[in-house]
Structure 1
Amino acid sequence: MDVQTLLASCYASIFSRLICFPLDTIAIQHASSTRRPIFSVPLRTYYRGLLPSTVLVTPAISIYLTIYRQSKASLIPHFGDTTTTYLLAGITAELASSFVWTPLEVIKSRLQISSTTQEGKLSENLKDIWRTEGIRGFYRGYLLGLLVFIPYNGLYWTVYEHTKKAAPKDWNTSSKASLGGCVATMTGVTLCHPLDLIKTRYQVATTATVGRVGGERLDDARGVMRVVKNVWGERRFGLGFYKGLGPRLLYATPSSLISMGVFEYFSPDRTAETALSGSLQEAGLETERL
């Protein structure tokens, strides 16, 4: 396993979360319809769940980025440095890491929408999920998450890699990565937001915070299709499915810009060059044998 890639992904996760976490909290609150006026609560409220989120999510991001790099390196000899490679590597990384991602995402979302200090405690959320739903509660929305993130990751890495290639040649690796992360995130988030919104609402549907919202939101816990019907009925022409898109982009875009810039600063992606060099060496050995 590439230790440099693992460490670089840890740095990327920590830097982006420290800077952008309040924006993530606002985005989650918009998507789950639990938002409060921005200046009605202290700033520290928007950092609720930062420490457990960083501790829990950083290993998952490290696994994800490392698997992407390794998958890409394995696929390039077969498909070249092409769109097919990016798609397959992104999907592989998502499938391999999603079993870790889902529980972390469920817990993080619950912490971020909590409206009291008690509800914002990691231990209280863990006990509440286990008591009311058991192990299945930690994987609430797992299949829906796959439906969201398999296409998202394939799309993200394809746009990311092609954007890096199209960046000015005199830019350094980190700048190209930041641009790629920015463009890829805006594209992926915009296209996949409706599914992500449904997933988020379903994952937090059984929390006490959502219970206090009342109304149709109480029905969200009945299933994914009920969430879809509720969202459809909240705004005309189905615009409810894009509720919170602005806050999501305001968080995800700078977060990806920072994280990918930091990631490739500490671990520049030389996968294509390494794979090409290996192929040339193999070809040379074959020629010598002949």
Structure 2
Amino acid sequence: MDVQTLLASCYASIFSRLICYPLDTIAIQHASSTRRPIFSVPFRTYYRGILPSTVLVTPAISVYLTIYRQSKAFLIPHFGDTTTTYLLAGTTAELTSSFIWTPLEVIKSRLQISSTTKEGSLSENLKDIWRKEGIRGFYRGYLLGLVVFIPYNGIWWTVYEHTKKAAPRDWAISSQAALGGCVATMTSVCCCHPLDLIKTRYQVATTTTVGRVGGERLEDARGVVRVIQNVLGERKFGLGFYKGLGARLMCSTPSSLISMAVFEYFSPDKTAENALSSSLHEGNLEGERL
């Protein structure tokens, strides 16, 4: 296990979460159609759930980034430092870490859309999920999450790695990573936002906050197909699927910029160089045997 990568991913998660959490809260409220006018509530409300979110999400991010690096190191000797490697490594990281991610996303989203202190309580949300849906409630939207994030991660890592390669060589590694994170996030969010919106609305469909919205929103709990039908009926030409896109970009872009700059600053990616060096070393040893 790469301890340096684990620690760097922890630093990246904490830095980006502390700075960008209010933006993430606004984005979740937009996607779930529970947003309130900005500054209509105390600013601290936008940090509701940050402690459990940081404590719970940081290990998941650490697992995710570490698995990506290790998968990439394993795949490079077979496929080279190519798009195929990035796609496969990103998919492997998502499939492995999604079992941790889904319960965390369900809880985090519920905390962020809550409109009262009680609804924003971690213990209250845990009891509410367990009482209404049992263990299945914590994995609400699990398969849909895979549908969203497997293509998202494939796009993200491919764009990120190629953008880093295209960045000026005289830039610091953290600057290259910041550019890569920024471009990768804008590209993948724009491509996958409709799926993410459906997932978010389905995950929070059984909350008290959504219950107060009433109307067709109560029907979201019936399933993904019903969520899609409701979104289609809310705006013409399917524009409802891009509701909250601006808010999501405003949150995700600086978050990725900060997290990847911090991550690569503390743990520069030497995977390709190490794989090439190892390959040359093995070739030299083989030559000596001959």
Q: What is the TM-score with the length of structure 2 in the denominator?
A: 1.00
CA distance in structure 2 between the partners assigned to 1:39 and 1:66 by the alignment: 38
1:127 and 2:127 matched: yes
Match of 1:237 in 2: 237
Give the aligned partner of residue 263 of structure 1. Answer: 263
Whole-Å Cα distance in 1 between the matches of residues 174 and 275 of structure 2?
Answer: 21
Query: What are the residue-to-residue correspondences of 1:1-290 with 2, within 5 Å?
Result: 1-290=1-290
| 3-state SS of paired residue (1:39) | coil
User: Structure 1, residues 195-234: CA drift from partner, whole Å, max 9, x if none?
Assistant: 0000000000000000000010000000000000000000
Once the two structures are TM-superposed, the CA of residue 287 in structure 1 deviates from its matched residue by 1.1
CA deviation string 1:20-44 (max 9, x = no partner): 0000000000000000000110000
Aligned length: 290
- Measured after TM superposition, the shift of residue 270 of structure 1 is 0.3
- The code of the aligned residue for 2:113 comes to I
Q: Give distance in 2, aligned partners of 1:123 and 1:261.
A: 34
Q: Deviations over 1:91-112 (max 9, x none)?
A: 0000000000000000000000
Q: Secondary structure at the match of 1:117?
A: coil
Counterpart Cα distance in 1 of 2:43 and 2:267: 34
Residues of 1 paired with 2:63 and 2:55: CA distance?
Answer: 14
**In structure 1, how many angstroms separate the alpha carbons of the residues matched to 2:186 and 2:32?**
20
Aligned-residue offset at 1:131: 0.6
Gaps of 5+ in 1: none
Return the letter of the residue paired with 1:215.
Answer: G
Looking at structure 2, the residues matched to 284 and 96 of structure 1 have their Cα atoms a distance apart, in angstroms, of 36
- Secondary structure of the residue aligned to 1:220 is helix
| Percent identity for Structure 1 against Structure 2 | 86
Q: Which runs of 5+ in 2 are unaligned?
A: none
Tell me which stretches of 4 or more aligned residues in structure 1 moved more than 3 Å.
none
The alpha-carbon deviation at position 50 of structure 1 amounts to: 0.4
CA-CA distance at 1:10 after TM superposition: 0.2
Distance 1:155 1:190 in 2: 11
Task: Give the alignment's TM-score, normalised by structure 1.
Answer: 1.00
1:286 to partner: Cα distance: 1.1
